[in-house]
Structure 1
Amino acid sequence: MAKPKVNTMEELSLAIGVSRPTLSRYFQDPASVRDSTVKKIQRGLEDVDYVPNFFATRLNRKSTGLIGVIIPHLNDLFFTSLLEVIQQSARAQGYTVITQSSHGDADLEQHAAGKLMSMNADGVIVAPLGEGSSARTFERLMTSMPLVFVDSHLPDALPGVPFVGTDNTQSISLILDYLCQAGESPLFLGMPKLNSNAMDREAAYLAEMEKRGLRSEIVPGSSQTAGWEFEAYAHDLMDEHFSNGRFRTGTLLCANDRLAIGALRAANRHRLFNRSGGLRIAGHDDHPLSRFMTPSLTTVKQQIDRIGEEAVSILAGLISDGRPSLEAKETRMFETTLRVRESA
């Protein structure tokens, strides 16, 4: 038999015989209501079909219990994996996550920030677009709530905002230690200059190659005008180079796995893995699909779990302490581990 549908707190009050103010206190904090009344409410809720309005139960609270997350793309498996960790960590601390995607567009990133402010979120974790981001957007956001950057940041515009990400100097050094065992000078295929990771990883490559006394070389391309379609960018660029007889042998280090996936596709099209002394390709990130490529991709694994958990931990601390983000100045960078597979 179907339970009677109850739509409002007033209807619920009549249905179970408890005053509306008492119900409101119960949904905000059950500990504020007498034990006998709590049991009466719980028994009554079992007999009706009622779902409390999330926002109505928080109208009189100082905290909404909401954490906002803004990421560049939902279809990027790195960000979806990071988001899953953030959601799990936030849930464990009693928060509900509201996710917004900027879709690689600065205007949408600004709109997402405004949406979270209108919802009175307690704090926000942002993987900023980088060069396309507006520092003014985040400065305005920080007047309403604490902010933590994750994966990439804006070191020039907002150097004091807490940041959690990967130690790119360590990760590039680690993969170069392995790739240089053969005595080669790996080429570097950089990311389009969209965020701090693009600049940091390229700078780390140049510094680490100089430290080893090896010649560095950046694969030439039009990355300044490229967008977030990394696989297509790398495929088209390397296909053109391979077609013109360039970079068909040796070692190619890609700034992320999505670039490496595109480069692998182009290399397979030219059958560059089917010959002795052919091309080697390596990436960065350990993308969920990297081990299923042909050949499987040698890369470095980021600590996504620790990055997501630490971002939530820092944000929850700021919320609890009532501290502005710029007073925190916390930076947490995690090391990577090597994943040797068939491609290099």
Structure 2
Amino acid sequence: MRERKIRNMEEFAAKSGVSRPTVSKYFNDPSSVRASTRERIEAALERYDFRPNLYAVNQNRRLTKNIGIVVPNLADPFFSELARNIERRCIDAGFSPTTFSSHGSREHEIEIMDTLRSIRPAGVLLAPLGRSSDRATLEAFCKDVPTVLFDSNIEGIGAAFIGSDPFQSIPLMVDYLCRTGAPPCFFEMPPVNPNANKRRDAYLRAMQRLGHTPHVVRVEGHGWDFEDIGYREGLRVIAEGGLPSQTVLCSNDRLAIGLLAAAYESGIRVGITEECTMRIAGHDDHPFARFTGPSLTTVAQDYKAISERSVETVLKLVEGGSIDDSARDILFDGHLVMRASA
């Protein structure tokens, strides 16, 4: 039976009768210490309940194997899916990823950067809040730590940005909706990050190019509770007769999911069959989009390509210290996913 739990490396070194530097050396590379010393340490590990703090062990390395991943909201399945893909690729490359959620908070995003500095990551993959971020703090962090931004870009910050091109994906959906029915109005997300304004601007340009009058439905609310905002504002706008078109393109799928619920509660049939009076489409191909009622027509972001290129880029920084100019801003096209809602 193991004896009581050891609290730290110093206490374990004292109990095992081996110096603290030698114990640290063992945990970095067991083969780097003499066989007799290794036996003493391993005997102590069997006797005492102790496992080293790998972050603390990494502090003594010139280059750690830690990779930080930061997203605005890990409860959002969109970011969970991106983080899952990025984590898997980091692990396959031999690195140890740690994922943080800033929960939409400027202060928490700053705290995360402080925490990341303390574990001396080899590199960081960061989806910033954007509008709410402290630009000066982000700039200072990205100068000290190899950092690649993904999903949301802030010009001039980070070694590179990997994401989707809203000026390709939004027109793709606008073209489809105009081709198959009434031109869409745009149900706008709160401007929590640069993607919000870019998607709105892409909609305006696409409608003008096609010769249609654009209509932006501005919603009340802030923060990342998009389903609630889509539902609450959808009920309000429908009740007020404020939808200028019965075809609605939502800025993201989470808003669309809320609007679908509002339409259902308001007695409106959504879909492409004859008895339906409204069409709703979204953007992102949220992991739940195919399970809504009706299933949501959307534009899919390329999760796989974004995660692979993000990890590839940060590892290039880690290994070589720089990347080519051609790899600094990579935007992937979206593709149309036609389902039952539009």
What range describes the TM-score normalised by the shorter chain of this pair? Answer: 0.7 to 0.9
**1:308 equivalenced with 2:307 (yes/no):** yes
Q: Cα deviation per residue 1:2-48 (whole Å; 9 max; x = unaligned)?
A: 4677845536856xxx98766544432456568x7899699869966
Does the CA-based 8 Å contact 1:282-1:343 persist in structure 2?
yes
The amino acid across from 1:293 in the alignment is T
Give runs of aligned pairs for residues 145-294 of structure 1, distance below 5 A.
145-155=145-155, 158=156, 161-222=159-220, 226-247=222-243, 250-273=246-269, 276=275, 278-294=277-293
**1:10 equivalenced with 2:9 (yes/no):** no
In 2: Cα distance, 1:12 partner to 1:316 partner: 39
The match for 1:97 is: 97
Per-residue deviation at 1:56?
4.2
Normalised TM-score (structure 1): 0.85
The match for 1:296 is: 295
Does the CA-based 8 Å contact 1:161-1:328 persist in structure 2?
no
Calculate the aligned-residue CA RMSD, in Å: 3.0
In 1: Cα distance, 2:325 partner to 2:41 partner: 43
User: Using a 3 Å threshold, how does the CA distance of structure 1 residues 340 and 97 change in structure 2: closer, same or farther?
Assistant: same
Does the CA-based 8 Å contact 1:102-1:109 persist in structure 2?
yes
Per-residue deviation at 1:152?
0.4
Per-residue deviation at 1:121?
2.2
The match for 2:333 is: 335
Normalised TM-score (structure 2): 0.85
Range 196-205 or range 113-122, more displaced? 113-122
User: Using a 3 Å threshold, how does the CA distance of structure 1 residues 328 and 134 change in structure 2: closer, same or farther?
Assistant: farther
Give runs of aligned pairs for residues 18-97 of structure 1, distance below 5 A.
24-29=24-29, 32=32, 50-97=50-97
Per-residue deviation at 1:164?
0.8
Per-residue deviation at 1:343?
0.8
Does the CA-based 8 Å contact 2:289-2:295 persist in structure 1?
yes
1:231 is paired with a residue of what secondary structure?
helix
Per-residue deviation at 1:51?
2.6
Range 60-69 or range 271-280, more displaced? 271-280
Per-residue deviation at 1:238?
1.9
**1:143 equivalenced with 2:146 (yes/no):** no
User: Using a 3 Å threshold, how does the CA distance of structure 1 residues 314 and 236 change in structure 2: closer, same or farther?
Assistant: same
The amino acid across from 2:126 in the alignment is V
Q: Cα deviation per residue 1:46-93 (whole Å; 9 max; x = unaligned)?
A: 966653331343343112222222211121111111111121111122
In 2: Cα distance, 1:68 partner to 1:10 partner: 30
Per-residue deviation at 1:230?
1.2
Per-residue deviation at 1:307?
1.3
The match for 1:319 is: 318
Percent identity, aligned pairs only? Answer: 37
2:144 is paired with a residue of what secondary structure?
coil
The match for 1:108 is: 108
Does the CA-based 8 Å contact 2:142-2:157 persist in structure 1?
no
In 2: Cα distance, 1:289 partner to 1:159 partner: 32
User: Using a 3 Å threshold, how does the CA distance of structure 1 residues 46 and 203 change in structure 2: closer, same or farther?
Assistant: same
Per-residue deviation at 1:284?
0.6
Per-residue deviation at 1:159?
5.5
Q: Cα deviation per residue 1:104-132 (whole Å; 9 max; x = unaligned)?
A: 11121112112211232222221111111
Does the CA-based 8 Å contact 2:142-2:158 persist in structure 1?
no
User: Using a 3 Å threshold, how does the CA distance of structure 1 residues 330 and 271 change in structure 2: closer, same or farther?
Assistant: same
In 1: Cα distance, 2:66 partner to 2:15 partner: 25
The amino acid across from 1:278 in the alignment is T
The amino acid across from 2:91 in the alignment is R
Does the CA-based 8 Å contact 2:172-2:336 persist in structure 1?
yes
Range 25-34 or range 331-340, more displaced? 25-34
In 1: Cα distance, 2:2 partner to 2:284 partner: 50
User: Using a 3 Å threshold, how does the CA distance of structure 1 residues 151 and 45 change in structure 2: closer, same or farther?
Assistant: farther
In 1: Cα distance, 2:91 partner to 2:44 partner: 23
In 2: Cα distance, 1:314 partner to 1:243 partner: 48
Q: Cα deviation per residue 1:194-244 (whole Å; 9 max; x = unaligned)?
A: 11111111111111122222222111333xx52221112222222112112
Give unmatched runs, 5+ long, in structure 2.
Answer: none
Does the CA-based 8 Å contact 1:126-1:150 persist in structure 2?
yes
In 2: Cα distance, 1:37 partner to 1:262 partner: 65
Does the CA-based 8 Å contact 1:184-1:250 persist in structure 2?
yes
Does the CA-based 8 Å contact 1:249-1:280 persist in structure 2?
no
In 2: Cα distance, 1:328 partner to 1:123 partner: 20
Aligned length: 334
